[in-house]
């Protein structure tokens, strides 16, 4: 997680400008989940984090950290969900429940692409 350029978070959040539903709540959830990703990444080096095994949860495959700026919000949320799934494997049920609800909310509210079109397929790095 330490390799992710967290300045890209602003680019992702910018895409939520056009979100439907409770836009502010979605932005809050993105910030909270990414804050957890950052905390766990740092904890992997400094051994802390009572809800997750920091040595495992804070380290995800580098290919998951790719967030292309031109992608639509729905694609970026899917990328975020992929990181979430990898992190959640190493966290307790309390963490999974709390942040899983937030991740599911984001997924449910960002299913469509531009102007309600189907969300384009995410092209993953190999």
Q: What is the pLDDT of residues 108-121, one digit of tens each?
A: 999 999 888 999 99
- Whether residue 2 is contained in a domain is answered as no
- Whether residue 63 is contained in a domain is answered as yes
For tokens 């919000």, what's the residue?
73
Task: Report whether pLDDT(5) > 60.
Answer: no
73 lies in which domain range? 8-116
Q: Please tell me the distance from the alpha carbon of residue 124 to that of residue 101, in angstroms, as a whole number.
A: 24
What mean pLDDT is predicted for residues 96-117?
Answer: 93
112 bridge partner residues: 118
- Whether residue 124 is contained in a domain is answered as no
- Whether residue 52 is contained in a domain is answered as yes
Q: Could you tell me the pTM of the whole model? A: 0.66
- Whether residue 121 is contained in a domain is answered as no
- Whether residue 58 is contained in a domain is answered as yes
Q: Which residue, 16, 65, 78, 68, is CA-closest to 38? A: 65
Task: Report whether pLDDT(25) > 90.
Answer: yes
What are the C-alpha distances in Å from 32 to residues 35, 102, 117, 123, 125?
Answer: 5, 9, 28, 25, 25
- Centroid of chain to Cα 90: 16
pLDDT of residue 79: 96
Task: Report whether pLDDT(1) > 50.
Answer: no
- Whether residue 126 is contained in a domain is answered as no
Number of structural domains the chain divides into: 1
Take residue 125 and report the two structure tokens written for it: 């790095």
39 pLDDT band, cuts 50/70/90, is confident
What mean pLDDT is predicted for residues 96-107?
Answer: 94
- Chain segment 40-93, per-residue pLDDT in tens: 766 555 444 447 887 888 888 989 989 999 999 999 999 999 999 999 999 988
pLDDT of residue 31: 87
- Whether residue 3 is contained in a domain is answered as no
């Amino acid at each position: 997680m330490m390799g992710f350029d967290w300045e890209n978070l602003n680019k992702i959040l910018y895409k939520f400008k056009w979100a439907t539903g409770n836009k502010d709540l979605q932005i809050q959830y993105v910030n909270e989940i990414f804050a957890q990703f950052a905390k766990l990444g740092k904890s992997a080096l400094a051994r802390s984090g009572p809800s997750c095994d920091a040595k495992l949860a804070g380290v995800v495959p580098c290919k998951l950290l790719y967030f292309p700026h031109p992608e639509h919000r729905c694609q970026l949320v899917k990328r975020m969900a992929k990181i979430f799934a990898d992190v959640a494997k190493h966290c307790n049920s309390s963490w999974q429940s709390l942040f899983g609800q937030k991740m599911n909310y984001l997924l449910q509210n960002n299913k469509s692409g531009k102007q309600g079109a189907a969300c384009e397929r995410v092209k993953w790095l190999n």
